[in-house]
Amino acid sequence: MIISANNRLIIQRLIALSSSILNYSTKRNNNFKLPSYTSESTSQLIKIFNNRGEYERAFQLFDMLIKQNNVSIISLLTILDTCIRSNHIERGRQIETFINQSIKWKDDIRLQTSLIKMYMKYQMIDQDKISKLIIRTKKKKQSIYSS
């Protein structure tokens, strides 16, 4: 495989980020110090762990984002996908509660669509639940109805 200069830089950056994230905690005086990373780079790592089937590592990284108050829409969508792939429906419900507590995210169509997808996979959704999720969104677009 031929790797161009641009791809090589991206690969080197991902390797550096992943190795530093994997060793993210250092213990000092019984306190754990968590480093700050952009939510974009951690979302990418969650996606990488998800694709590798390393679901627990993805959940640990997402928990770190919550502790740092650095959660983004992309990280939420990615962790919901992790819940679907790993059959962690209870974790998905916890994330739904987390989403619904936030004014910023509770009306986001992409998140509501992902929640519908998660519940439909496990056949844990009925017409009433779908209606509530759709009504909760302010803007009703075609994409949510066709999920």
Residue 122 lies in a domain: yes
pLDDT tens sequence across 130-140: 666 666 655 55
Decide: 84 and 49 in contact? Cβ < 8 Å. Answer: no
CA distance 64 to 59: 9
Q: Which amino acid is at 44?
A: Q
CA distance 108 to 80: 14
Residue 70 lies in a domain: yes
- Whether residue 17 is predicted with pLDDT greater than 90 in this model: the reply is no
Residue 33 DSSP label:
E
Q: Could you tell me the CATH number of the domain that includes residue 139?
A: 1.25.40
- The better pLDDT of the pair 142, 100 is held by 100
| pTM, rounded to two decimals | 0.63
- The better pLDDT of the pair 16, 147 is held by 16
CA distance 111 to 48: 20
Residue 18 lies in a domain: no
Residue 95 lies in a domain: yes
Residue 103 lies in a domain: yes
pLDDT tens sequence across 86-132: 999 899 999 999 998 988 888 888 888 888 888 888 776 666 666 66
Based on the structure, what is the number of domains in the chain?
A: 1
Q: How confident is the model at residue 34 (pLDDT cuts 50, 70, 90)?
A: very low
Residue 25 lies in a domain: no
Residue 139 lies in a domain: yes
Instruction: Provide the residue range defining the domain that includes 131.
Output: 36-145
